[in-house]
Structure 1
């Protein structure tokens, strides 16, 4: 239930935050490992989770699961912990449980999202792949009932890692199946080439309706300050890291509904029933300003 609600919320927030999002998944319902590029921190996982028509499970850093209550919440969000050497050599043995959980998901014709580069860098290029995705794939192919497991290359392209709004292009490459490769090296080489082939500039749109000018101006006057406050806060807190865009998005996704509700209730208490008009008008004017900005110099 939590996963389904977050999926809807995140998709709506992305629609407000971004310009054009191109996402054309053509896969079936077979067990699947989504091997995805990782250029923009945890925003990559949010985009995939929000737009993927199938339910996803995510491999996440094991140190995030240290606190029991947090771990329960993360598992409800379909996250599976994976432990690296940097998180303590004593934790590496716990990856056997991660492998078993992953196999359980795949046996249910599930879908697991993995970032085979193993690191996030804000660049429009594919970095050398780690061996974890390939090893998991070959191990899974050896399991009964998983002969039809497919490896789906996914390349995510952003028009910008800092501008708001931005365009996002998600490209699905040719799938890799059992028998296409013979060893880890061959799988990594094929996967790398198909990920690199999917790297392309995110599509853009030109032109906007003149009817948006007035509501865009109202959105600028009434709400740009709200965005600028969070933008400046995120810049300070994420300086010299890859987390800026993801942090800005999450801050807005969490606080903007509260902002709209608070302003609406304030207006209702001071102006009466007419104040309820703010509930749809604030988001609409913010959206109009976003659409207007798509065709002007981004920040």
Structure 2
């Protein structure tokens, strides 16, 4: 329930950060059954927000493990359908916990659910696909070994700009990869390489630097929104730029703080209105 309510609210708030979003190929995403959304990952946490708010069915997202190290944080993030995936850079002692996450993914697939995994494992505001890690392949092969009819749907989110508000976004979903595309489901180096080559072939055409001009009505609406919320944008922009030094986390932290700040700003305006009138 928390996830459903928050997703609706975040969908609304993202309109205050994004001028236009074009969604292509959503028909490639099955409306039921177990799915891995294998994503291109150029813009940190904002990628997951946009994808979750575009797809109607709930999505469990795999996120960097260092955010889950505190028990209370892990409990909160789980309420928002998030699970940790640890990289060796976060400490070898945590890698064993990935097995727990993969077991949880298996439960989700058995119940016909969806999991979002960013297959590159890194995020650098890139405009081209980085080398793919083995996590997506491992999860797919382990699931296919249990006879679950899992499908992998490639998805790429493209931004016309980073570190700025008022984005023009193209979100592309590609044709699904299924069990029938492979002959062997053993989790070994050769099969992982074959899987990643297939995934790369389907992901690469979804990555684009071509954006349709923003519609005039969208520009007008966003300019009105910006004018009415200028204090929020100004304060958050300066704070986030200082804290992130315009790194890959700028957009994600800005959007996250906007989700918190806007209701406070609206309540403040409501209070001022009541005092004056």
The structural deviation recorded for 1:233 is 1.1
| Aligned residue runs from structure 1 range 128-207, under 5 A | 128-144=131-147, 146=148, 148-182=149-183, 183-201=191-209, 203-205=211-213
Where structure 2 has 5 or more consecutive residues not aligned to the other structure, the ranges are 184-190
Q: Matched residues in 1 for 2:225 and 2:197: separation? A: 52
TM-score, length-normalised on structure 1? Answer: 0.83
Q: Matched residues in 2 for 1:169 and 1:13: separation? A: 18
The structural deviation recorded for 1:219 is 5.6
The structural deviation recorded for 1:240 is 5.0
Q: Could you report, residue by residue, the CA deviation over 1:154-196 in whole angstroms, capped at 9, with x for unpaired residues? A: 0111111123201111111111111313421111011112111
Instruction: Report how many aligned residue pairs link the two structures.
Output: 266
Q: Aligned with 1:167: secondary structure?
A: strand
Q: Could you report, residue by residue, the CA deviation over 1:20-39 in whole angstroms, capped at 9, with x for unpaired residues? A: 11224222212110000000
Q: Matched residues in 2 for 1:224 and 1:75: separation? A: 33
Q: Matched residues in 2 for 1:5 and 1:188: separation? A: 36
Distance 1:89 1:14, change over 3 A: same
Q: Matched residues in 1 for 2:246 and 2:15: separation? A: 27
Q: Aligned with 1:201: secondary structure?
A: coil
Q: Matched residues in 2 for 1:9 and 1:201: separation? A: 29
Whether the aligned pair in 1 keeps the contact of 2:119 and 2:133 (CA below 8 Å) is yes
Distance 1:55 1:195, change over 3 A: same
Whether the aligned pair in 2 keeps the contact of 1:37 and 1:195 (CA below 8 Å) is yes
